[in-house]
Homo-oligomer: A and B are copies of this chain.
């Protein structure tokens, strides 16, 4: 009954559902407090009080028909200007409202960008491990995903392999820093090298290659790490942003795309992305939430809560003997599986009521993703279980 393209998606979905149901099953047997679910990316740090206060203020002051009504497909002009101003102030850029398109979260942002630039059969390069939905987004527009591995020391891209895999069909490259699932933040040097390679290859193929920077975790960084603003290094860059993590608003579906004036044919691209927003059915980003993030453009949740979780979890796991790179951002930790088959490792972990996602779900087997967007107390309760798990495997 369903479209051919949907069949694989439905089959894969049952795997995700099984994991979710496994969690529920374990909770029923052992009690919620004795199950350690590190599989989800649902923000755990509270929404700032200012969000709900801002919503009430807006409801009290704005005309309801305008507030909840249609606006330009790219969003309210005043909101886009506030966001552009906030970005300019924080990253020394030079955007105005025309460079910003409000979107139904980053997932929609990626979709409308890909729809706008991708012809069937064209290639999009991603760096493994990567957020698995990229594969589906690229397939939506009949593009071909090309994987380039990160090295397992720094989890930064292997640039030699990257350069070799760029072809005349390469239309775009997706980067995600701070990264899901590794927590790594790409250094300025790496960004410069990626940009240099892209410029060289653009010239070689007399083609435009877009860099798409997926940045839902931009604000979630620790230890004063700086996240370079990608448009400053490469003109043909789309920045795709979401407030899902920075303000703990994932259900509200609110984000934006930045398209700099320096991009080739930027005016036409801005128009195409705006039309795509309409044509895929989003029409515009939710209107009340646009106004809210406009008012709260400089605000974030208390990042320190995630840092506490990272430190507690990372230090504990390293102490027990596990290996992993120290996450600099996002709320994930990418643990090396102590046995080769990480799916088997996840299975053994379930005996200790620990739920994690196998690295093969991110096209990077041999590792598992641990989401530490959970209560700090849960990590405290889980750590002794991780120790037992390690000891069982190493005995």
Asked if B51 contacts A279 (CB within 8 A), the reply is no
Chain B hits for A272, CB < 8 A: 2-3, 6, 9-10
Asked if B59 contacts A55 (CB within 8 A), the reply is yes
Asked if A3 contacts B281 (CB within 8 A), the reply is no
Q: Does A248 contact B (CB under 8 A)?
A: yes
Q: Which single residue of chain B is at the shortest CB-CB distance from A290?
A: B251
Chain B hits for A140, CB < 8 A: 279-280
- Which of B3, B117, B281, B287 is close to A252, meaning CB atoms less than 8 Å apart? B287
Considering the chains assembled together, what is the distance between the CA atoms of A5 and B121 in angstroms?
13
Q: Which single residue of chain B is at the shortest CB-CB distance from A103?
A: B281
Chain B hits for A47, CB < 8 A: 64-65, 68
Q: Mark A79-114, 1 if CB is under 8 A from B, else 0.
A: 000000000000000000000000011011111100
Asked if B283 contacts A253 (CB within 8 A), the reply is yes
Asked if B208 contacts A1 (CB within 8 A), the reply is yes
Chain B hits for A251, CB < 8 A: 67-71, 284, 286-288
Q: Which of A185-193, A262-270, A360-368, A378-386 contacts B (4 or more CB under 8 A)?
A: A262-270
- Which of B40, B69, B111, B264 is close to A43, meaning CB atoms less than 8 Å apart? B69
Q: Which single residue of chain B is at the shortest CB-CB distance from A47?
A: B64
Q: Does A376 contact B (CB under 8 A)?
A: no
Q: Which of A275-318 contact B (CB under 8 A)?
A: 275-276, 278-289
- Which of B59, B65, B253 is close to A284, meaning CB atoms less than 8 Å apart? B253
Q: Does A321 contact B (CB under 8 A)?
A: no
Considering the chains assembled together, what is the distance between the CA atoms of A64 and B104 in angstroms?
19
| Given A253-B104, A268-B1, also A248-B69 (CB < 8 A) | yes
Q: Does A271 contact B (CB under 8 A)?
A: yes
Q: Mark A131-166, 1 if CB is under 8 A from B, else 0.
A: 001001100110000000000000000000000000
Considering the chains assembled together, what is the distance between the CA atoms of A44 and B69 in angstroms?
9
| Given A64-B51, A279-B140, A280-B281, also A286-B1 (CB < 8 A) | no
Considering the chains assembled together, what is the distance between the CA atoms of A141 and B68 in angstroms?
30
Q: Does A250 contact B (CB under 8 A)?
A: yes
Q: Does A203 contact B (CB under 8 A)?
A: no
| Given A47-B64, A68-B47, A70-B42, also A111-B281 (CB < 8 A) | yes
Chain B hits for A252, CB < 8 A: 68, 286-288
Q: Which of A48-64 contact B (CB under 8 A)?
A: 51-52, 55-56, 59, 64
Considering the chains assembled together, what is the distance between the CA atoms of A286 and B55 in angstroms?
14
Asked if A51 contacts B70 (CB within 8 A), the reply is no
| Given A1-B264, A59-B52, A108-B282, also A116-B6 (CB < 8 A) | yes
A interface with B by C-beta (< 8 Å): 1-6, 9-10, 13, 40, 42-44, 46-47, 51-52, 55-56, 59, 64-65, 67-71, 104-105, 107-112, 115-119, 133, 136-137, 140-141, 208, 248-254, 263-265, 268-269, 271-272, 275-276, 278-289
For the complex of A and B, the 9 pairs showing the least CB-CB separation, nearest first, are A251-B287, A108-B281, A111-B281, A107-B281, A1-B265, A47-B64, A286-B286, A2-B272, A68-B249
Could you show 24 A-B contacts with beta carbons less than 8 Å apart?
A2-B272, A3-B117, A3-B118, A3-B141, A3-B272, A13-B271, A51-B68, A64-B248, A68-B248, A68-B252, A105-B283, A107-B282, A108-B280, A108-B282, A111-B280, A111-B281, A133-B279, A140-B280, A250-B283, A251-B284, A280-B280, A280-B281, A286-B286, A286-B289
